[in-house]
Amino acid sequence: MSYDSKLVVKVANLYYKDNLTQEEIASKLKVSKYQVNRIIKRAIESGIVKITVLDPTENISSAEEELEKKFSLKRAIVVENQGLSDIELKSKLGQAASKYLTEIIKNGDVLGVAWGTTINEVVKNMPKLLDRKVEVVQVFGSSLS
């Protein structure tokens, strides 16, 4: 069924700009809800309505891919840090690292933990109970000159 372009624009405006439901539009324009649905689809297909998904993590995803390729990494995790204080950044790093560790740790693994405020954030963000048997050991060392 062909719809008048003025009707398509009107329905698109009511739906996308005025946030009316399809049922409300149908009642207002004296058409069926089914027709409103078809008109909305027509608005998209004809290019009257263009839907764009903006990925706020696009730059982060690209950076992760570049790091993985350049250094032959299985996985790189980059966190957004613009405008964060040192404390906020360490907290965000701790959250990301603990989430990753929770994904990859398996039964029988040994997890070495060092000192530091960032490592402390990782530990604070780890789940209280982990359904795997993991040995946690303290690691320390020094650099040789």
Tally of domains in the chain: 3
pTM score, whole prediction: 0.55
Parent domain of 97: 83-145
Of the CA atoms within 13 Å of residue 127, those in its CB half-sphere come to 10
Q: Render pLDDT for 17-57 as a digit per residue (tens, 0 to 9).
A: 999 999 999 999 999 999 999 999 999 999 999 999 877 77
Answer whether 86's CB lies under 8 Å from 117's CB.
no
pLDDT range class, residue 81, cuts 50, 70, 90? confident
- Where helices occur in the chain by DSSP H, the ranges are 5-12, 22-29, 33-45, 58-71, 86-104, 117-125
Answer whether 110's CB lies under 8 Å from 132's CB.
no
Same domain, 109 and 123: yes
Same domain, 91 and 142: yes
C-alpha dist (Å) from residue 37 to 8, 22, 40, 104: 11, 7, 5, 44
Q: What is the CATH number of the domain that holds 24?
A: 1.10.10.10
Q: Render pLDDT for 114-144 as a digit per residue (tens, 0 to 9).
A: 888 999 999 899 888 778 888 888 888 766 6
Same domain, 103 and 144: yes
Same domain, 32 and 65: no
> Which is higher by pLDDT, 128 or 8?
8
Same domain, 103 and 117: yes
Same domain, 114 and 145: yes
pLDDT at residue number 143: 64
User: What is the 8-class DSSP label of residue 14?
Assistant: I
Q: How many CB atoms lie within 10 A of CB 36?
A: 23
